[in-house]
Amino acid sequence: MARALEQGAPAGATTNAAYEDFPFCTLLHLCCFYGEDHGAGKLECLNLLAAQPDVDLNARMGDPHMGPGCMNTRETPLHIACMYHADAALRLLALGARPDLVDWGGTTALSRLRKSGHSSAKKAAIEAAMQTASSQDTGAVTRADALREEGNAAFRAGDDTVAQAKYEASLEARVDGRTLNNLAALHLRRATTLGRQNVAAWRRANSPSGVGTVDSTTSENVLRVNLQLEDAAWTDALRYALQARELNPACPKAAYRCARAQMGIKDFPRALVAAREGAEANPGEPTLMRLVTELRALGVREVLANAMSPETLRMKEMMRSSWGPTVWCPFCNIPLPLPLAQYGGHCLRCACDPETVVPPGKINQLRLE
């Protein structure tokens, strides 16, 4: 790699066929993996990469237009180095890499560092370098704060498009839990609005006077698109709320918005966990305590579903091969092949008890309040 760089290979290039398991990984990322394995050589390559005019010290792993995954983590080289190559982390920080950036899950490089196997001395040196980098970048903090305030003004005025653009620009300048929380609130508002519209459209399309009409068919097509937009908004809200919680686990707004987004995607047990953890971190916080009480009164338990469990995969196969008699889960609204006894008292999608009697409209009332 070093010889190729000396001969002019582009620093920002993705990996070649020899690294096909990392299709969106830059050469800089590769230099930060596993420092114990040819660590000095990788550090030499890192220095050569840094000298290239097109190098991006904060390049992200993956595709920003795709959802999160094991090869689409949005990690920076500093994230990788803090886990695997301490000397590379120190070098990246000296070159100007940003320690505030978060991956898809909201994890910072500092969080990775604290979970790494580096020596205490190396960890202390890297953390000190991060603090120095953060304190020196006052201009970025000022820009980020100004953009966030502009986003707040647009959000209050109801202009979510402008607000989102300002918040995202603020995050580009500096990652801040307040901005992540505001983006979560924005997407929650968007998802809630779409959800209410979709419930009303479904009722119109399925009313006795509307079934089978041209207007009914049109409404169903529009509803299908809007349901996809609603799902995307809930997912975006959850992503930003999780990132905000990663930065500040005790933040009550982040916990509440995380719980609301989990309810939006109909994962009520995880919503209960988020609300309960937020209430425990903020004793007496009324909104979180009320949400915990409402979810428990509804019969929600802290039993989390596993989408990749053998039972869930078997249920999906049953649904694909032959429907047969089914019953709808009152919480996540998916059809479960009978008999229910085979699921051990919990829906394989949301883990709630599908035999629970839920008052009509209560689920959407909670989701869309």
**Is residue 224 domain-resident?**
yes
Q: What is the pLDDT of residue 164?
A: 97
Res 19: pLDDT: 46
**CATH number of the domain within which 80 lies:** 1.25.40.20
Per-residue pLDDT tens over the stretch 334-368: 888 777 777 777 787 888 888 888 988 899 889 99
Q: Are residues 357 and 269 in the same domain?
A: no
| Whether the predicted pLDDT of 292 surpasses 60 | yes
Residue 305 lies in a domain: no
Identify whether 72 is part of a domain: yes
Per-residue pLDDT averaged across 88-104, rounded? 92
Q: How far apart are the C-alpha atoms of 64 and 60, rounded to whole Å?
A: 8
Choose the final residue of a domain: 297, 331, 346: 297
Tell me, what CATH number does 193's domain have? 1.25.40.10
Looking at the fold, whether 200 and 236 belong to one and the same domain comes out as: yes
- Lowest average pLDDT, out of 89-98, 243-252, 265-274, 313-322, goes to 313-322
Number of domains in the chain: 3
- Residue ranges making up the domain that contains 232: 175-297
- Residue 82: pLDDT above 60? yes
The larger pLDDT score, comparing residue 42 to residue 246, is at: 246
- Does 125 have pLDDT greater than 90? yes
The answer to whether residue 157 sits within a structural domain is no
pLDDT at residue 38, rounded to an integer: 59
Kindly state whether residues 25 and 124 are assigned to the same domain: yes
On whether both 354 and 276 belong to a single domain, the answer is: no
Collapsing DSSP to helix, strand or coil, 228 comes out as helix
Q: Is residue 152 part of a domain?
A: no
Q: Are residues 130 and 65 located together in one domain of the fold?
A: yes
* pLDDT top residue among 113 and 16: 113
Q: Do 37 and 132 belong to one domain?
A: yes
Question: How would DSSP label each residue in 39-99?
Answer: HHHHHHHHHHHHTSTT--TTPPSS-TTS--BTTB----HHHHHHHH-HHHHHHHHHHT--S
Residues 291, 328 share a domain:
no
Residues 272 and 192 occupy one common structural domain: yes
Q: Is residue 56 part of a domain?
A: yes
